[in-house]
Amino acid sequence: MNGHGRSGGRPTLEEVAARAGVGRGTVSRVVNGSSKVSERTRAAVEAAVAELGYVPNRAARALAGSRADAIALVVPEPQSRFFAEPYFSDVVRGVGAALAETDVQLVLTLAGSDRERRRLAQYLSAHRVDGVLLVAVHAGDPLPELLAELGIPAVISGRRSAAEPLPSVDCDNAAGAAGAVRHLLGRGRRAIATVTGPLDVYGARCRLDGYREALTAAGMPVDELLIADGDFTEEGGRRAVRELLERRPALDAVFAASDVMAVGAGRELRAAGRRIPEDVALVGFDDSVLARHMDPPLTSVSQPVEEMGRTMARMLLARIAGEPGEAAVVLPTGLVVRESS
């Protein structure tokens, strides 16, 4: 027998406890840096740890406290959209910043197809993560309910409705859209069209509400033929503007509910021989990297996406630790004016 008390195996917590003459709970407290241990006991345990060469096993420790030390960021979208949409990488950056000071690992999961979602459900059922951050969830999505059933804490970015039961982080979508429309009215534009996001996304509906509210507040009629559905893709932006130009050729401004759609809208306006901003002013939403690189540079509603990511991660860590956190955080938007309007 070697000094480990077992042939060649790694020394166990029990062996350290026996060597130090204390209970295993005490060893565990010392190893995990708890302050609830006397100096003499700590010294005895540390000596035993050093003699035996005990290495706390992360996985075993996680199991004992049934903590995986990991959280998942789940984006229920196909890969193509994840990489086309700067919004997502900004969220990831914010989440990463909040986790940088912790031991918590971030697992990124794109679940755009049914097969990916089934695999995700199995993964979550195995409790491989301590909590989940949900981004861009559509109205009928069963994922949040699955998490509730499994008892996995979750925080959502972008509420699914005004009555969202999950803790949530949002930007003020309606106020951002209203600000964009007020800006266009202030520039003397009178036939202001909008390209909406998918209306099963609550944030997209709020942006449409903000558009309507700003026109109404200015005493302008809301012309339904100036509203076209988009889907947050560039092609969707192009398609919507093609439709708008057919219905209302005299339109003199377009507010697109995302920068990606604004790119498509701009291309379609050019193809139709319209100059931006001389003939048609254009405003986007997100103030992403795309806005700065468009020609002309795009006026856009800025939302603090990185801060949203950081806030979500902090709220989730609090939930995992069993602390009561905030139920809903709404962060302010701004308008960054550039040459497109």
Question: What is the Cβ-side half-sphere exposure of residue 304, based on CA atoms within 13 angstroms?
Answer: 15
Domain 173-302 matching CATH 3.40.50.1950: the answer reads no
Write the single-letter amino acid at 194: T
SS3 content of the chain, % helix, strand, coil (to 5): 45, 15, 40
Q: What is the pLDDT of residue 65?
A: 53
- Predicted confidence (pLDDT) per residue in 135-151, tens digit: 988 878 888 888 888 88
Structure tokens at 40: 């003499």
Locate tokens 């790694």: which residue?
10
Q: How many CB atoms lie within 10 A of CB 210?
A: 27
- Predicted confidence (pLDDT) per residue in 236-284, tens digit: 999 999 999 999 999 999 999 999 999 999 999 999 999 999 999 999 9
Per-residue pLDDT tens, the chain, 341 aa: give them.
Answer: 344 444 445 677 788 888 888 887 788 777 766 667 788 888 888 888 788 777 665 544 444 456 778 999 998 888 888 887 888 889 999 999 999 989 999 999 988 888 888 888 888 888 889 999 999 888 788 888 888 888 899 999 988 888 888 999 999 999 999 999 999 999 999 999 999 999 988 999 999 999 999 999 999 999 999 999 999 999 999 999 999 999 999 999 999 999 999 999 999 999 999 999 999 999 999 999 999 999 999 999 999 999 999 999 999 999 988 887 788 999 999 999 999 99
CATH topology of domain 13-64: 434 Repressor (Amino-terminal Domain) (1.10.260)
- Predicted confidence (pLDDT) per residue in 150-160, tens digit: 889 999 998 88
Question: What is the Cβ-side half-sphere exposure of residue 139, based on CA atoms within 13 angstroms?
Answer: 11
Write the single-letter amino acid at 171: C
Q: How many CB atoms lie within 10 A of CB 2?
A: 8
Contact criterion met (CB below 8 Å) for 328 and 167? yes
* Model confidence, pTM: 0.76
Contact criterion met (CB below 8 Å) for 200 and 261? no
Q: How many CB atoms lie within 10 A of CB 315?
A: 26
The residue ranges of every structural domain in the chain are: 13-64, 70-170+306-331, 173-302
**173-302: same fold as 13-64?**
no
Q: How far is CA 27 from the centre of its chain?
A: 39
Instruction: Please state which architecture CATH assigns to domain 70-170+306-331.
Output: 3-Layer(aba) Sandwich (3.40)
In sequence order, which residues have a C-beta less than 8 Å from that of residue 195 and are 6 or more positions away?
228, 229, 230, 236, 237, 240, 241, 244, 254, 255, 256, 257, 261, 262, 265
Q: What is the pLDDT of residue 188?
A: 98
CA-nearest of 206, 199, 142 to 174 is 206
The DSSP 8-state label assigned to residue 298 in this structure reads P
Nearest-angstrom CA–CA distance, 172 and 311: 15
Question: What is the Cβ-side half-sphere exposure of residue 28, based on CA atoms within 13 angstroms?
Answer: 10
Q: Which helix (H) or strand (E) holds 229?
A: strand 227-229
